[in-house]
C-alpha cells in the first residue's frame, strides 16, 4: 500500500510565451487532468507554482515575471494572490527555474490561472513549463 498522494493540480510544458497573450489560455491542456480552462483549486488551501525555462530567451533584455490569480465571486475579475514582483519574488532573464506560493496569505477561490508579464524588446521565452501543487 502506497501512502504517496499526488498533489499536482496543473502541468503544461514546452510553452512559448510572447506578446500574443499574457496568461495560460483556455486552449492549454492541463497534463494532470486532460482538461482545458481555469485550474480547479477548490480542494486546496495553499499551493506552490513552479516555473521552468529550458531554452534561452529571445529578444533584447527579456525578462519574465509570473503570477497566480484567482477568479472572484462575480466570475468577472481575476485577482492576483502571488507576490507583487513575481512568483518567488524573482524575475527570469535566462534559462532556469523559480517557484513560489500561490496564496501569500490570501484565501484561494475555486478557480485559478497563471499569468505572466514580459519586458524587453520583442521578448520571447520558449520551452517553458508550469506546474501547480496544492494541499488541503
In a domain, 1, yes or no: no
pLDDT for res 22: 81
In angstroms, rounded to a whole number, what is the distance separating the alpha carbons of residues 47 and 40?
A: 12
Report residue 25 CA to chain centroid gap: 11
C-alpha torsion angle, residues 109, 77, 6, 105 (rounded to 10): -60
Q: Read off the CATH number of the domain in which 117 is found.
A: 2.60.120
In a domain, 3, yes or no: no
- The domain in which residue 14 lies consists of 8-135
pLDDT (tens, 9 = 90+) of the chain, 136 residues, equals 455 557 888 888 898 888 777 888 667 888 887 777 888 888 887 889 999 999 999 999 999 999 998 888 888 888 888 888 888 888 999 999 999 888 766 667 788 889 999 999 999 999 999 999 988 7
pLDDT for res 118: 92
In a domain, 74, yes or no: yes
In a domain, 102, yes or no: yes
117 Cβ contact partners less than 8 Å away, ≥ 6 residues apart: 22, 64, 65, 67
In angstroms, rounded to a whole number, what is the distance separating the alpha carbons of residues 100 and 131?
A: 11
Q: How many domains does the chain have?
A: 1
Cell numbers at residue 65, please? 515575471
Question: Residue 19 in 3-state DSSP?
Answer: coil
Residue tagged 466570475 (cell numbers): 75
Burial class (CB in 10 A: 0-12, 13-18, 19+), 48: buried
In a domain, 119, yes or no: yes
Amino acid at each position: 500500500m502506497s501512502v504517496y498522494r499526488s498533489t499536482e493540480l496543473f502541468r503544461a510544458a514546452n510553452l512559448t510565451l510572447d506578446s500574443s497573450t499574457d496568461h495560460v489560455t483556455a486552449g492549454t491542456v492541463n497534463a494532470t487532468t486532460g482538461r482545458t480552462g481555469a485550474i480547479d483549486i477548490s480542494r486546496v488551501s495553499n499551493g506552490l507554482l513552479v516555473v521552468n525555462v529550458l531554452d534561452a530567451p529571445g529578444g533584447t533584455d527579456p525578462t519574465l515575471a509570473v503570477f497566480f490569480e484567482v477568479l472572484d465571486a462575480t466570475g468577472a475579475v481575476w485577482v492576483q494572490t502571488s507576490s507583487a514582483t513575481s512568483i518567488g519574488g524573482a524575475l527570469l532573464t535566462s534559462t532556469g527555474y523559480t517557484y513560489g506560493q500561490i496564496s501569500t496569505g490570501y484565501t484561494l477561490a475555486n478557480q485559478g490561472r497563471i499569468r505572466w508579464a514580459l519586458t524587453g524588446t520583442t521578448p520571447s521565452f520558449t520551452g517553458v513549463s508550469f506546474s501547480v501543487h496544492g494541499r488541503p
